[in-house]
Amino acid sequence: MNLKTTLGILALIGSTGALAAEPAMVFTSWGGTTQDAQKSVWADGFSQADHVKVLQDGPTDYGKIKAMVEAGAVTWDVVDAEGDYAVKAGNDGLLEKLDFSIIDKSRLDPRFVTDYSVGSFYYSFVIGCNKDAVKACPKTWAELFDLKAFPGKRTFYKWSAPGVIEAALLADGVAPDKLYPLDLDRAFKKLDTIKSSIVWWSSGAQSQQLLASAETPYGFFWNGRLTALTQTGVHVETSWNQNITAADMLVVPKGVANKAAAMKFIAFATSPASQAKFAELTGYAPTNLDAPALMPQAVRETLPDAQAATQVNADLQYWAQHRDDIATRWYAWQAR
């Protein structure tokens, strides 16, 4: 390239900004098919609408968020986090307050709105089974815990979060409206009965691999991961009996550099159209109350919202308050 050409390009940049670097932000989530959908619907859509490039990172790591905030070196602008963590992290000063002059919370499900977070999507923990790998599939939590009727390995979520404790108590006969405060002694006693047969999954993608390969022909799953697996041709049976509901939340770590872009991204991701399209792709329910009207009725019938009669709602506020104490016992029990 000669000097004349170089000067011409520099002049173009200075006069129009056409070749200037595109602003960028980082969105962090859990990987796999869920983050693929978040990228295609939310990140790519936001980039087109606001001309802000959205880089992807993951998986979400709570220890890393705390370390970045404490070091004053935050590189994640918006993070998809579990609901109980979002409540606790906001209370602990690790998150930015959301700007509700930019994010319209008036039509967001109030169950999943705090000063520091809004619902990313709403999901259920359900029983999943590879129909080609076994003669019969468990339909209830009690059956999933029954090694005699349903022998072999089963998979459960590894991390301390709402879901597995509740499933163990429901399997042991606790009524849904009597779950809280959680009877940890009773829950761990029930978990002891199947501990040697548990294969733990730590990411949604891993849970799908375990079921598809039939290494664990049944287990405890996020409903959307089973929807995605079915779309690949795996013969999955899903039981919604006493499905345990919770939500992921969108949060902004404290001290983020791109705060304005982060708020605009969350506003875009939680808009009716964005929520509806994401729900169609993933099988997770939207947290925007206007989104269902934009979705085909056939799709709406496959989402957790359609299973309200059998739902058990996890108490995210209870978990936020007791998260650390439960985690200490949970990981000590796993290590035994």
| pLDDT at 72 exceeding the cut of 60 | yes
User: Domains in the chain, ordered, with CATH?
Assistant: 3-121+248-304 (3.40.190.10), 123-246+310-335 (3.40.190.10)
- For residue 304 the two structure tokens come to 């957790």
pLDDT at 21: 58
Do the beta carbons of residue 155 and residue 210 sit within 8 Å?
yes
Q: For the CA atoms of 66, 67, 73, 75, what is the dihedral angle to 10 degrees?
A: -70
pLDDT at 198: 98
pLDDT at 268: 98
Do the beta carbons of residue 244 and residue 176 sit within 8 Å?
no
pLDDT at 305: 87
Decide the pairing of beta strands 78-82 and 236-251. Answer: antiparallel
Please name every residue paired with 253 in a beta bridge, in sequence order, or none if there are none: 95
**CA–CA separation, 11 and 36 (whole Å):** 39
Residues in the chain: 336
Pick the closest to residue 133 from 211, 222, 190, 69 (CA basis). Answer: 211
pLDDT level of residue 7 (50, 70, 90 thresholds): very low
Q: Please, which residues have CB within 8 angstroms of residue 264's CB and are 6 or more apart in sequence?
A: 46, 50, 52, 102
pLDDT at 160: 87
Which amino acid is it at 194?
A: I
The dihedral region occupied by 58, where left means phi > 0, alpha psi between -120 and 50, and beta the remainder, is left
Greatest CA separation found in the chain? 81
pLDDT at 203: 87
| pLDDT at 164 exceeding the cut of 60 | yes
Do the beta carbons of residue 307 and residue 243 sit within 8 Å?
yes
Q: What is the DSSP letter of 131?
A: T
**CA–CA separation, 102 and 113 (whole Å):** 14
Q: Which one has a higher pLDDT value, 152 or 31?
A: 152
Mean pLDDT on 51-77:
97
Q: Please, which residues have CB within 8 angstroms of residue 64's CB and are 6 or more apart in sequence?
A: 76
Residues of the chain above pLDDT 70, percent: 93
Mean pLDDT on 80-90:
96
| pLDDT at 6 exceeding the cut of 60 | no
* 294-334 per-position pLDDT tens digit: 999 999 988 998 998 999 999 999 999 999 999 999 999 99
